[in-house]
């Protein structure tokens, strides 16, 4: 009797894990390691445009430095399907170790909270992300290299490179490419963001 029950529970748990609790790369594609240098803007708001499943998606961004080595950032976006709206948001806190080398300016440790809600009546997708950013300055623009881990069952990792530059003394333009991958899949996502310095 216990053996019969065991034979029914194992397939049920497998179906629940695969169908209900699955986390694909597409579900985590809204998570970007976001960085605006303290020297460029203490507080900025803007939009990020990126390609997700061959569709252009957008998100609203906020970045705020409390001191020259502690900052928070966040983003919120919605994905509208035929009759439903999926809401995705993330918030990160970062600590910068500032350096005074010719090229290397700082190294940032980021901790992020990410959540996706209201997607096809599925349970919320919640996870943590951990990123390490290396930031360099070449003349008038910044280069940010990032490696990160998204803490979920599929062991998702990401690598990104971003180019950041101030334009017209009031705006910041960022262009970047993110590669998000796990053992089964690989997804490359270009992004472009424009921010206003407050």
Residue 124 reports pLDDT greater than 60: yes
What pLDDT, on the 0 to 100 scale, is given for residue 15? 37
d(CA 163, CA 176): 6
Tell the burial category of 183 from Cβ atoms under 10 Å away from its Cβ (0-12, 13-18, 19+): exposed
Query: What is the rounded CA–CA span in Å between residue 108 and residue 33?
Result: 10
More confident residue, 80 or 150: 150
> Of 117, 112, 106, 147, which Cα lies nearest the Cα of 129?
112
DSSP conformation class of 40: T
Q: What is the pLDDT of residue 143?
A: 95
Q: What's the pLDDT at 30? A: 62
Tracing tokens 């699955």 back to the chain, one arrives at: 22
> Could you give the count of Cα atoms lying within 13 Å of 91 in the half-sphere of its Cβ?
2
For residues 61 and 44, give the distance between their C-alpha atoms in angstroms, rounded to a whole number. 8
Note whether 48 and 58 are within 8 A (CB): yes
Residue 10 scores a pLDDT above 50? no
* Residue 29: per-residue pLDDT: 60
* pLDDT tens digits, one per residue of 89-117: 899 999 999 998 888 999 999 999 988 88
- The distance from CA 157 to its chain's CA centroid, rounded to whole angstroms, is 11
pLDDT tops 90 at residue 3: no
Q: pLDDT: is 19 or 144 the higher one?
A: 144
Q: Is the pLDDT of residue 170 over 70?
A: yes
Neighbours of 3 (CB within 10 A): 6
The full set of domain ranges for the chain reads 23-197
- Kindly indicate the confidence band of residue 66, based on its pLDDT and cuts at 50, 70 and 90: very high
Compare 24 and 195 and report the one with higher pLDDT: 195
Contact 157, 179 (CB under 8 A): no
CATH topology for 23-197 is Porin (2.40.160)
Mean of the per-residue pLDDT values for the chain? 81
**Confidence band, pLDDT 50/70/90 cuts, at residue 42:** very high
Q: Which residue, chain included where needed, has tokens 């089964």?
A: 184
pLDDT band with cut points at 50, 70 and 90 for residue 80: low
Length of the chain: 198
Per-residue pLDDT band for 5 (boundaries 50, 70, 90) equals: very low
Angstrom distance (rounded) from CA 70 to CA 161:
21
């Amino acid at each position: 009797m216990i053996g019969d029950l065991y034979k029914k529970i194992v397939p049920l748990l497998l179906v629940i894990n695969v169908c209900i609790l699955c986390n694909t790369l597409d579900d985590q594609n809204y998570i970007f390691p976001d960085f605006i240098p303290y020297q460029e803007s203490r507080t900025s708001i803007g939009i990020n445009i990126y390609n997700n499943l061959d569709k252009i998606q957008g998100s609203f961004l906020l970045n705020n430095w409390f001191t020259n080595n502690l900052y928070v950032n966040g983003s919120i976006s919605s994905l509208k399907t035929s009759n439903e709206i999926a809401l995705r948001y993330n918030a990160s806190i970062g600590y910068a170790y500032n350096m005074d080398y010719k090229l290397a300016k700082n190294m940032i440790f980021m901790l992020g909270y990410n959540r996706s809600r209201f997607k096809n009546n599925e349970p919320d997708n919640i996870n943590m992300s951990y990123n390490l950013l290396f930031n360099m300055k070449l003349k008038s623009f910044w280069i940010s290299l990032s490696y990160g881990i998204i803490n979920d069952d599929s062991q998702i990792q990401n690598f990104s490179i971003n180019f950041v530059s101030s334009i017209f003394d009031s705006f910041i333009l960022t262009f970047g490419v993110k590669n998000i991958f796990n053992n089964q899949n690989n997804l490359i996502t270009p992004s472009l963001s424009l921010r206003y310095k407050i």
